[in-house]
Amino acid sequence: MALNLNCSFTGTPVISGNGWSLAQPEKNVSLGLCYIKVQTITGSKEKINFIISNTSPNGPIKYENFSFVPNLTDTNNFIAQAYDYLKTLPEFANSVDC
């Protein structure tokens, strides 16, 4: 499970896994189609914490931390709920399941 999203970054330098710089602070760089994947997930029935990787065809671009309160009556597991939570955020509004 993952999400597809057209990615661009503005305002902070973005460094890929192999160390090359993708963006300067004053520039907006479009990277095209990226994959958003939940890498780790921890927590309890009160709060789920998870880390996503934002990956382009050239490798990892960025990692981000998120958290949400899980729905214990939902038939989806916590990983599926993490993806559902991401899709409620403005920066992932146009993402597509893949």
Rounded to whole angstroms, the maximal C-alpha distance in the chain is: 45
Give the residue, 62 or 58, on which the prediction is more confident. 62
- Predicted model pTM: 0.75
- Model pLDDT for residues 14-55, shown as the tens digit of each residue: 555 544 445 555 556 666 778 899 999 999 999 999 999 888
Q: Which residues contact 9 (CB under 8 A, 6 or more apart)?
A: 22, 23, 28, 29, 31, 61, 62
